[in-house]
Amino acid sequence: MKTKLTLGYSPCPNDCFIFDALVHGKIDTGDLGFEVQLEDVETLNQKALKGDLDITKLSFHAYAKVMKEYILLRSGSALGFNCGPLLIKSKACSERSRRGKSEKLKGDWVVAIPGELTTANFLLSIAYPEIKNKKVMLFSDIENAVLKGEVDAGLIIHESRFTYQDKGLEKVADLGEFWEDLIHAPIPLGGIVIKRSLPPELQQQVNTLIRKSVEYAFAHPESSMPYVRTHAQEMSEQVMKKHIALYVNVFSVDLGEQGKQAVELMFTKARELKLLSANSEKLILE
């Protein structure tokens, strides 16, 4: 009889690409079975706070809040260069600002964010500490909220970075570039964590299976596309593949030394800025 573990990840193309082989029997999972819960990343962050899942995708910002309960696996993470969140506003807003001869101070802006515990919000807090008036929204609703004038600006993630210009929106700042200039390391966006209470050998087994799932996806890139399409029906094929190419890379197979250092640097910087208290827990599964 298989041991069942609960597994949470998002329906975004990158996660479906990573986990397709694992959850659809394309690799041998041995004595393990997985009960999948598909949720947006902020919902997964909140579930992690409550310890609801054995294994889950979450934002690195959220990981800082649940380190006593979970440990980061080496495989499955989203890190990289030129892939960070974007702060955007409408061109109409810019035109209004020009007519008024002075742009509204960013500290007065109402900014839509994809979740308080997202890495995107963490980066916004570092880059623009003066922005305090934030409105939490589902990430896919943010572009339209900016277009309708419900908020002054929006913090976009995922596939929105490929579509915002087509909708008449413009970039205020690339927070990925901001982070890379500040730290000179790839930006850690999201990772896969597992409960520390599970046996060490089980933690290692899960990590190995996720790595095999990513490797299978890279070796058979079209194999996962039916699963990706099922959960991204409003997205063009081109955007799906751009999304996967941006967020799934060598760090998703294994963090490696560069990836580990990038995660450690983020947590060190967060402590320096008093955004995170000191924690003695081991960050990453060895």
What CATH number is associated with residue 175? 3.40.190.10
CA of residue 286 relative to chain centroid, distance: 22
- Longest CA–CA span in the chain (Å) reads 70
Please indicate, yes or no, whether residues 43 and 101 belong to a single structural domain of this protein: no
Same domain for 194 and 77, yes or no, is yes
Is the residue at 34 inside a domain?
yes
Report yes or no on 241 lying in a domain.
yes
Residue 281 domain-assigned (yes or no) = no
Query: Residue 104's pLDDT is what?
Result: 52
Q: How many domains does the chain have?
A: 2
Q: Are residues 208 and 136 part of one domain?
A: no
At residue 234, φ and ψ (nearest 5 deg) are: -90, 5
In a domain, 278, yes or no: no
Of 134, 150, 183, the domain-final residue? 183
Residue 172 shares a structural domain with residue 107: yes
What pLDDT is stored for residue 100 in this prediction?
40
Q: How many angstroms separate the CA atoms of 86 and 156, rounded?
A: 5
By DSSP bridging, strand 187-195 and strand 78-80 are antiparallel
Residue 102's pLDDT is: 42
Residues 74 and 110 in one domain: no
Query: Is 167:147 a contact under the CB 8 Å cutoff?
Result: yes
178 and 91 inside one domain: yes
What does the pLDDT read at residue 53?
98
Q: What is the pLDDT of residue 160?
A: 86
> What's residue 183's pLDDT?
87
Same domain, yes or no, for 61 and 93? no
Q: Is 43 contained in some domain? A: yes
List per-residue pLDDT tens for the chain, 286 residues long: 789 999 999 999 999 999 999 999 999 999 999 999 999 999 999 999 999 999 999 999 999 899 999 999 999 999 999 889 999 998 766 454 444 434 555 778 999 999 999 999 999 998 999 999 999 999 889 999 999 999 999 999 988 888 899 899 999 999 999 999 988 899 999 999 999 999 999 999 999 999 999 999 999 999 999 999 999 877 899 999 999 999 999 999 999 999 999 999 998 888 887 777 767 688 999 8
162 and 191, same domain (yes or no): no
Q: How far apart are CA 229 and CA 235, in angstroms?
A: 8
Q: Identify whether residues 94 and 171 lie together within a single domain.
A: yes
Listing DSSP states for 148-197 in one string gives: TTSSSEEEE-GGGGGTTGGGTEEEEEEHHHHHHHHH-SPEEEEEEEEETT
Taken in order 86, 92, 96, 99, the sign of the CA dihedral is positive
- If asked whether residues 115 and 166 sit together in one domain, one would say yes
Residue ending a domain, choose from 140, 163, 183: 183
Give the residue numbers spanning the domain of 166: 86-183
Residues annotated as part of the active site: 158
State residue 92's pLDDT score: 66
Asked which of 148, 183, 218 is the last residue of a domain, the reply is 183
Residue 283 lies in a domain: no
- Residues forming beta bridges with residue 170, ordered by sequence position: 89
Q: Same domain, yes or no, for 90 and 123?
A: yes
